[in-house]
Amino acid sequence: MSVVQTLNDIYFRAIKEFPRSDAYKYKEGGAYRDLSREAFAEAGAEVAMGLVALGMERGDRVAILSPNRVEWPICDFGMLSAALVTVPVYVTLTANTIDYIMDNSGARAIFVSSPSELTAVLPYKAKNPDFRLILFEGADQVEGAMSLDDLRSRGRDLMSAEPDLYKNRWMGVSKESLATIIYTSGTTGTPKGVMLTHDNIVSNVLMGVKALSISEKDTSLSFLPLCHILERMAGLYVMTYAGSCIAYAESIDTVRDNLLEVRPTVMVSVPRLYEKMYARVLDAALSGGGIKKKLFLWAKDVGGKRAELLIAKKPVPKALEMKYRVAKQLVFSKLKARTGGRLRFMISGGAPLAKEIADFFFSAGLNIFEGYGLTESSPLIAVNTFEDFRPGTVGKPVPGVQVRIADDGEILAKGPSIMKGYFNMPEATAETLRDGWLYTGDIGRIDEDGFLVITDRKKDLIITAGGKNVAPQPIENKMKTDKYLQEVVVLGDRRPYLVALVVPDFENLAIFAEQKGLGSLSVDQLTQNPKVNEFLMGRVERFQRDIASFESIKRIHVLNRELSIEDGELTPTLKVKRREIQARFESEIEALYADA
């Protein structure tokens, strides 16, 4: 297959050129098991023809509601090869939102992981009796549901009766065919269905493979939701194109253990995982005291100096290189061992990554390549690479994608990966796509060497009562590197000064309280204790020594719980929904301005 134009071309190319026995790994019975490319392809074909046997026509929409598991990509490739359109649905969405997505997309069926995820779908099913429910497991517990095994059985029967139907179906898909409708989780407003064609995603896959040098020698650990275009494009389609092995984590909570079991060479994540890794490393090193602490700080300094030269593409003096070898042996090798020992690089996207974190991991020999993009751009617009790497930026625009900065600072992008539009939303499409340019809604700049720097979301910029513009995300990202500050939400639009809602790291905060003789306090007691509040304000002020007064947080309110996806306060990629948070904590915020 010389020319790759569709996701089906990628899929069948992998089947033909990379017939490996461990193409996929999944956890079952406490151990990882291998699934061969041949067995995966067989299952995908049966799913495709099973859906055709149910009456699915070309272009029909079928949804998937499931956490990451090997059945997810089987059904995705099954749908694509049946000339259908995949509609991924986050398991954290409410029944009302799922009802809206099913209705707006016109989905005719949905794959569901198990009965536990089915509750939110049942209201829609009750109103639409012809809507098909297909369960990966537990179908016998749900009236009117079909099991995945039953669907595959129907597919086998149809392929036996019409041997050429499957090939005719997938070969009839063109690069302009719609591949997926992805409903943006969004930080504001009603979800919009982003229409991505096969060509949109394939162009991004080819860019990604080339930029990051992925090959059949690589193994990735997949745990970011496959509903998110970053994981689906980079963690599934790129790896499939390259013939790599894909291992599925049991959940995001088991990633630390799964890293040691799978020993991946590549990993895709959002910044929150790297923030936690960094905080744990710092805490372990700095709380050790004595020689351990001094050794870590020395290694960090040596690694930082070496990294600075490498990033600037300057030679490293022999004496510094020798020191680094010692630092690597005594300190950094232990950090790499915790990731399985084989990681070549990690990809970060979905939200901004603090420069301090990227700097540290690079100096330790663990590259985090931060990239930038949107669902609307399939998603890759820019990314750091081995050749062009600069922490604090999202890299250079990938080949084939043009980027320019509008007069008001908004980032605009144009290229083959830009979406077809929003499904059934012509006005929203016209607002976002203008003369072929995607208006991203992000503010940024391109530095003197062509690296793209993101400032913040255009809608998130704060204009104080004094008329000063403040970008909250860079402030928040720096503060989240503190081991006591798990989440910081900066607020202050049209106000005389900035304030923040702070979610502390409750475990570390409890240890602090005991060390200070405050006793064993409950979460409510911790967050309401004046000494604890004073301590946390002090942690915030540590990051405000070298910034302008108007950028300083003057008061904080400490929350007694974490922000969550389930409560609608975070997107599935853990970005803050500011409007929702401002509405939910209105009284707490107003109290911070009581004396203003």
CB-CB contact of 457 with 441 (8 Å)? yes
CB-CB contact of 249 with 226 (8 Å)? no
Where residue 302 sits, what CATH number does that domain have?
3.40.50.12780
The answer to whether position 406 is within a domain reads: yes
**Sequence-ordered list of residues with C-beta below 8 angstroms from that of 559, at least 6 positions apart, any chain:** 501, 502, 503, 527, 585
Same domain? 453 vs 527: no
Bridge partners (DSSP) listed for residue 576:
570
The answer to whether position 57 is within a domain reads: yes
Helices assigned H by DSSP within 463-595: 472-479, 506-515, 523-528, 530-541, 578-584, 586-592
Backbone angles phi, psi at 525, to 5 degrees: -65, -40
Burial class (CB in 10 A: 0-12, 13-18, 19+), 584: middle
CB-CB contact of 65 with 111 (8 Å)? yes
Backbone angles phi, psi at 161, to 5 degrees: -75, -35
Same domain? 45 vs 162: yes
Same domain? 489 vs 434: no
Per-residue pLDDT of the chain (596 residues), as tens digits, is 468 999 999 999 999 999 999 999 999 999 999 999 999 999 999 999 999 999 999 999 999 999 999 999 999 999 999 999 999 999 988 888 899 999 999 999 999 999 999 989 999 999 999 999 999 999 999 988 999 999 999 999 999 999 999 999 999 999 999 999 999 865 456 789 999 999 999 999 999 998 889 999 999 999 999 999 999 999 999 999 999 999 999 988 899 999 999 999 999 998 888 988 998 888 888 887 788 899 999 999 999 999 999 999 999 999 999 999 999 999 999 999 999 999 999 999 988 888 989 999 999 999 999 999 999 999 999 999 999 999 999 999 999 999 999 999 999 999 999 999 999 999 999 999 999 999 999 999 999 999 999 988 888 889 888 888 898 988 998 899 899 999 999 999 989 999 999 999 999 999 999 999 988 889 999 999 999 999 999 999 999 988 888 899 999 999 999 998 888 898 877 888 888 899 999 999 999 998 86
d(CA 488, CA 472): 10
The answer to whether position 213 is within a domain reads: no
Same domain? 507 vs 416: no
The answer to whether position 118 is within a domain reads: yes
CB-CB contact of 585 with 530 (8 Å)? no
The answer to whether position 78 is within a domain reads: yes
The answer to whether position 506 is within a domain reads: yes
Same domain? 468 vs 433: no
DSSP 3-state of 553: strand
The answer to whether position 264 is within a domain reads: no
Structure confidence by residue, pLDDT tens digits, 109-122: 999 999 999 989 99
Last residue of a domain, one of 457, 490, 515: 457
Please tell me the pTM assigned to this model: 0.88
Last residue of a domain, one of 457, 483, 512: 457
d(CA 233, CA 242): 12
Q: How far is CA 199 from the centre of its chain?
A: 22
Residue found under tokens 């911070």: 592
Same domain? 318 vs 466: no
d(CA 526, CA 504): 10
Same domain? 117 vs 166: yes
Nearest C-alpha neighbor of 155 from the set 145, 140, 165: 165
User: How far apart, in Å, are the Cα atoms of 290 and each of 133, 279, 295, 297, 356?
Assistant: 61, 19, 9, 11, 24
End-to-end CA distance of the chain: 68
Nearest C-alpha neighbor of 261 from the set 72, 34, 18, 20: 34
Residue found under tokens 């039953």: 150
The answer to whether position 209 is within a domain reads: no
Tokens matching residue 262: 């799978």
Same domain? 20 vs 169: yes
325: containing domain: 269-341+343-457
Nearest C-alpha neighbor of 225 from the set 387, 385, 54, 72: 72
Structure confidence by residue, pLDDT tens digits, 413-466: 999 999 999 999 999 999 999 999 999 999 999 999 999 999 888 888 898 888
Same domain? 422 vs 523: no
Same domain? 160 vs 298: no
Tokens matching residue 566: 């389930």
Bridge partners (DSSP) listed for residue 457:
442
How many domains would you assign to the chain? 3
Same domain? 280 vs 383: yes
Backbone angles phi, psi at 91, to 5 degrees: -70, -15
Same domain? 453 vs 520: no
Q: How many C-beta atoms surround the C-beta of residue 42 within 10 A?
A: 16
Last residue of a domain, one of 177, 198, 219: 198
Q: Which residue type does 540 have?
A: V
- Whether the bond into 123 is cis, omega within 30 of 0: no
